[in-house]
Amino acid sequence: MRAAAPENVVIIDTTPDRPRVLGEVDLFSAQVLVHERAIYMHESVQYYVDRLEWGERKAYVHKIDADHYTYANRAVTLKPLDIFGHAPTQGGRRIHGEVMVASLVTLFKKLKFGTDENVGWGPIDLPELELQTTAYWLTAERLASPWRRDDLDVALLGAGRAIQLRVSDLGSDAGDGAYNYQVSFAPHVSADTKKKLAAARAANDDAAARNAMRDAGISAVVASCGTALTTQQAQLLRRFTLKGVLSFDPDAAGQGAAAKSSEMLVAEGFQVNVAMLPAGDDPDNYIRRQGAAAYQEQLRNSRQYLEYLLDRTAAEHDFNKDDSRREFLGRMLTVAARIPDAAQRDQFADRLAHKARITEEVVRAKTHMIADVVCDQDTQSTLARWYGTALTTCMSV
């Protein structure tokens, strides 16, 4: 397959006064070897890829001495186009035919030599490559019946990996080609069922939204796993930016995830906005139905998270009732205390005081007292609830 690539990327070393050509790599290899910010190895020497001019098929590198290497994540999709021949085998069929191979790389990791410790990552913005070639594949229709779906997926992935490793052991002749494995639906599944299952996967796959955003011209996109966003991921993001717009589904789960993720990002020092989509839409569907321009307008009109949270939480409480007002103050004091920037914390405290109809000086003082306590988040939340109770009691007298 590699030999079938119609073009190569030329690698140019800019370290000497007079640039020189190091060599060439095919397009499929270039995706993972000479993307921008990659560490490229040539004759045991490390080179840093300064830029990749994909249209010109040129990669510009210079010598470095780094303590890490880079590893690009490649997603390969195989789509059967034609069958040249097939024969029964135990549990299924073996087939030889023509396939479409699609290769897409979206990010790379920086891994330390010796320990493989992950010390960073970065996005890769390159077009998807497609190639028609011949392939050999196996089906396992009869073997699949006694298996649960989750177990079957794991078993097939393991079998595919074993086949890949076995092919790599066959020697240089086999190594001249390329091989990959993919778990797919059995050929006997109807086209209508395939479409429904694919639609269900896309609706729950953050990659669908990410790809739709990139199609809309928004390249700086990170898709979390489901609605999970961890402190470790936030710390990685800080290496690239301190500003972000969250765009989750508008349902209750999505908005809950937006609130939790935003609160954690604010505590890590981010400036966070929240883009609100119409009910029933997610980012992927909205872009496909309304277009890129409409979605970009939603991003431009996104609200600062702290303002969004304050108004959203206030709308859930009745300030004419002491219990409801007390709960509101407790929740918001906790959020205010975790804002790392003192000026931003005071601004939020002033808005909180206005909403709760309490003097700004009092709210600021209580917020600082909670923020200055060295304790875990649960203890801070307890303090915030206590201060909220004290404040509402004093204002009610």
Residue 172 has pLDDT above 50, yes or no: no
Q: How far apart are CA 69 and CA 37, in angstroms?
A: 10
> Element (H or E) spanning 47, and its range?
strand 45-53
More confident residue, 231 or 178: 231
Residues 204-214 have pLDDT tens digits of: 445 556 666 66
Task: Find out whether 23 and 9 touch, Cβ atoms under 8 Å.
Answer: no
- Tell me the torsion sign for CA atoms 118, 122, 126, 127: positive
Task: Find out whether 138 and 89 touch, Cβ atoms under 8 Å.
Answer: yes
Residue 283 has pLDDT above 90, yes or no: no
Task: Find out whether 216 and 287 touch, Cβ atoms under 8 Å.
Answer: yes
Q: Which of 116, 135, 24 is nearest to 76 (CA)?
A: 135
pLDDT for the residue numbered 136: 81
Distances (CA, A) of 321 to 9, 318, 326, 393: 69, 6, 9, 12
pLDDT (average), residues 364-392 = 54
pLDDT (average), residues 328-338 = 79
pLDDT (average), residues 327-343 = 79
Q: Which range has the worst mean pLDDT, 39-43, 294-298, 331-335, 377-381?
A: 377-381
Q: Which range has the worst mean pLDDT, 108-117, 209-218, 252-261, 331-340?
A: 209-218
Q: Which residues pair with 304 in a beta bridge?
A: 273
Q: Which range has the worst mean pLDDT, 112-116, 198-202, 356-360?
A: 198-202
Domains of the chain, residue spans: 2-146, 201-304, 317-396
pLDDT for the residue numbered 153: 67
Q: How many CA atoms lie within 13 A of 364 on its CB side?
A: 10
pLDDT (average), residues 176-203 = 44
Token pair, residue 122, equals 């970065």
Which residues in the chain belong to E strands, given as ranges? 8-13, 20-26, 39-42, 45-53, 58-63, 68-89, 92-112, 118-123, 129-139, 243-246, 271-274, 303-304
Residues 89-139 have pLDDT tens digits of: 877 788 888 888 888 888 899 999 888 888 888 889 898 888 888 888 877
pLDDT for the residue numbered 297: 86
Give the pLDDT band (50/70/90) at residue 331: confident
pLDDT for the residue numbered 198: 44
pLDDT for the residue numbered 3: 43
Q: How far apart are CA 253 and CA 226, in angstroms?
A: 10
pLDDT for the residue numbered 209: 62
Distances (CA, A) of 219 to 37, 93, 216, 285: 16, 42, 9, 18
More confident residue, 178 or 355: 355
pLDDT for the residue numbered 66: 92
- pLDDT mean across residues, the chain: 75
pLDDT (average), residues 309-320 = 82
pLDDT for the residue numbered 2: 43
Residue 4 has pLDDT above 50, yes or no: no
pLDDT for the residue numbered 22: 92
**Residue 21, helix vs strand vs coil:** strand
**Residue 164, helix vs strand vs coil:** helix
Q: Which range has the worst mean pLDDT, 202-211, 213-222, 299-308, 352-361?
A: 202-211
- Nearest-5° angle of CA 391, CA 396, CA 397? 105
pLDDT (average), residues 268-278 = 82
Residues 293-310 have pLDDT tens digits of: 888 888 888 888 888 888
More confident residue, 226 or 129: 129
pLDDT for the residue numbered 223: 67
CATH number of 201-304: 3.40.1360.10
